Amino acid sequence: MDTKKSNTGWSDQELEASVDGYLKMLKLVSLGQSLNKKAEHEVLREGALSTRSLASVDYRMRNISAVFEILNQTPIAGYTAAKNVGSGVVSRISRMLAQRGIVASQDNAPTFDDELLERRAAKLQSKPIKTKPEGIAAPQQVSTTSTSYVRDPEVRAWVRQQAAGICEGCSLRAPFNLDNGQPFLEVHHVKHLAQKGSDRITNAVALCPNCHQRCHRSSDRDEFTAGLYSKISRLIQE
């Protein structure tokens, strides 16, 4: 019977026990073994979490899932990420996870390498992006054999995910699907990066190749670009 309860703040010892318990369960899942969450919770309540209720332990596990998502890591499917987790708790759990080798994935790290950018964006695009990416207000110019800009793969993934396979210029379906099943749309910066445009969702659209080239080469490119601002509410002129 679940009678042990405490409303006090969680100590580091309690949080660390929760993190260790979560990682133990994550390993079981990764090995394809069955997971009895209630039994695992009871084990924790026999030790460091002796004053916590089953519901409280379950909610703490959902806190940890939320931090996993923040770190762009895959959480345990049985623990839906809690909403509105306090920044202090996020910081403490993140620190404890880092001490155990669980750190932010590099999949959402900005890069100037277009091939790497595309790989990272495709991976991010394969699962729901729950928050709008911040992007980069002033992309850094990098000189290699040609001029490149550091860009955010999460912006590219989010914009294409929002388009859902439909060109934001002509409203037609993407011309084909890639090997990974994702529709082929190109992300275009409405105010070009070379013109000091930002790499943000407010300056990026997902276009079919025809519309993308129209933005760059067509005799009516200025009118077509103006139409994008009218059509797509998230865009902000820079």
Which residue range(s) make up the domain with 32? 12-99
pLDDT in tens, 168-193: 999 999 999 999 999 999 999 999 99
- The highest-confidence range among 70-84, 103-117, 182-196, by mean pLDDT, is 182-196
Residue 4 lies in a domain: no
- Strand-pair partners of 173: 166
| Same domain as 196, residue 121 | yes
Report the number of secondary-structure helices (H) and strands (E) in the chain. Answer: 8, 4
63-77 residues labelled b (16+ CB within 10 A) or e (exposed): bbbbbbeebbbebbe
Contact 121, 156 (CB under 8 A): yes
The structural domain count of the chain equals 2
Amino acid at 169: G
Strands 204-207 and 186-189: antiparallel
pLDDT in tens, 27-65: 999 888 989 999 999 999 999 999 999 999 999 999 999
**Which of 40, 71, 99 is the endpoint of a domain?**
99
**Which of 77, 99, 121 is the endpoint of a domain?**
99
| Same domain as 126, residue 90 | no
Percentage of the chain lying above the pLDDT 90 cut: 61
Residue 204 lies in a domain: yes
pLDDT in tens, 109-152: 788 888 788 888 888 888 777 778 888 888 877 766 667 888 99
pTM above 0.85, yes or no: no
Neighbours of 36 (CB within 10 A): 11
Residue 6 lies in a domain: no
| Same domain as 162, residue 209 | yes
pLDDT of residue 1: 43
Six-digit token string for 95:
């620190």
Helices in the chain by DSSP H: which ranges?
A: 12-30, 37-45, 54-70, 87-99, 114-125, 153-163, 209-217, 221-231
pLDDT of residue 231: 96
Contact 203, 170 (CB under 8 A): no
pLDDT of residue 105: 66
